[in-house]
Amino acid sequence: MKFGAYTACLSDRSLPEALEILAGLGLTSAEVNSGGFIPAPHCPVDAILASESARRDYLRIFEEAGVELTALNCNGNPLSPLPNEGLKHADDLRRSIEAAGRLGVRHVITMSGLPGTDPTAKYPTWVVNAWNGIDMEILDHQWSVAVPFWKEIDELARRWDIRVAIELHPRNLVFNVPTFQRLLAETGATHIGVEMDTSHLMWQQMDVPAVIRALGDKVFFAAAKDVALFDGVKTKGVLDVDFTKVPADAEGKTPVAYGYWCNAWPEDPAWRFVAVGVGHDEDYWVEVLSALREVGADMVVNIEHEDAAMSTLDGLGHAARTLLSAAERVG
C-alpha cells in the first residue's frame, strides 16, 4: 500500500513546498486538484495538455521530492443544471482524464454529480428518502441524465487507460453501495470505480470495512479522512441543515461554483470532519486498512485534511502518524 495526501490543504504553498512537507512526514504519494469545485494551483492543466516538455518538467518536481503523483482530483458536480457549475465541471473532468493519460497517472478522482428534479430545474436536488411517489419521478429523471454522461466518461477513460474513482459523497446521485451498483449496471462501465473516502460513510453511520468488502475490486483508490459525532446528533441526526451563509466579501471562502461557496458550520454541530485518529482510534484504522488491503494490495491511501480545529501541518502530522502506525500493524 502507498500512503500520501491530497495537496488541496496546502494550496497556499508552492507544489515543491507541499511535497517537501509530505515527504517529511514519511508519505510517498500525492494527489493534486485539477478542476471542479476548487482552484488547481498545483496542476497546470493547460500546459500539461499542450506540451510534452511541460509534462516532463511537472513530473520532475515529484521525482525530485521522492513523492509519486498518484491521482488528479476533479471533484465537482458535472451533472448540475447550473451552467456555470455543470458544464464547467464536466469539461474539467474530461480535461483531467486526458491530462492524467498524458502524464501516465492512472487515477482521476471525482463525484457522480447531481441533476435537478426535471429538465426545467435550475438547482440540483438530492433525494435522501424516496418514500414519496414524486421522488421516484425525480430519480428517474436524474438517472436519465447521469447514465449517458457516465457512459461517455467511461469511454473516454477507457481510451486513455484511466480509472475514474467516484467518491461516495452525500448530495450526489451516487453516495452509497446500491447507487454505485446501479450506476455500473446501467452504464456497463469498465473504467469507473470508487474512491473510498471514509469520512462521508462515517457520518452516514455506515460500516466502512463492510462497504469496502461489498465493493471489492471496484474500490480503486482511498481517501483517509475522519469524522467525530457530537451531542448535537441526539436531536439533529446526521442530516444537519443548520449551516449559515458566508458573506460574499469574507476572506478564505471555499468555492464550489462561480458565485457560490461553502457555508459555515453550525456552532453546535451534529458531526464534523476531524484529523485522522481524532474521531476513530488507531485500532479502527487497522480494520479499515486491512479491508483495503484485501481488495487491493497496491491500494493508495491519501490523507484529506479538513479539520478546522487543527492547523494544516498539525492535522497532516497527526493523520500520517496514525495511518503509518496502523499500516505497520496490518503488515
Question: Which ranges in 161-197 belong to alpha helices (H)?
Answer: 177-187
Residue 165: the pLDDT is 98
Interatomic CA distance for residues 119 and 138, integer angstroms: 10
Contact 136, 180 (CB under 8 A): no
Contact 258, 85 (CB under 8 A): yes
Q: Three cell numbers at 92?
A: 474539467
Measured in whole angstroms, the distance separating CA 265 from the mean position of its chain's CA atoms is 19
Residue from 141, 201, 192, 142 nearest 169 by CA? 201
The CB density around residue 218, as the number of other CB atoms within 10 Å, is 21
What's the burial of 56, exposed, middle or buried (CB within 10 Å: 0-12/13-18/19+)? exposed
Residue from 14, 15, 31 nearest 72 by CA? 31
61-74 as b/e: b if 16+ CB within 10 A: bbeebebbbbbbbb
Quick one: CATH architecture of 2-330?
Alpha-Beta Barrel (3.20)
Q: Three cell numbers at 243?
A: 449551516
Predicted confidence pLDDT, tens digits, the chain (331 residues): 999 999 999 999 999 999 999 999 999 999 999 999 999 999 999 999 999 999 999 999 999 999 999 999 999 999 999 989 999 999 999 999 999 999 999 999 999 999 999 999 999 999 999 999 999 999 999 999 999 999 999 999 999 999 999 999 999 999 999 999 999 999 999 999 999 999 999 999 999 999 999 999 999 999 999 999 999 889 988 888 888 999 988 887 777 767 788 888 888 889 999 999 999 999 999 999 999 999 999 999 999 999 988 999 999 999 999 999 999 999 7
Interatomic CA distance for residues 238 and 229, integer angstroms: 9
Residue 240: the pLDDT is 80
Q: Which sequence spans correspond to the domains of the chain?
A: 2-330
**Does residue 282 sit in helix, strand or coil?**
helix
Instruction: Give the β-pairing of 271-274 and 226-229.
Output: antiparallel
Interatomic CA distance for residues 236 and 60, integer angstroms: 49
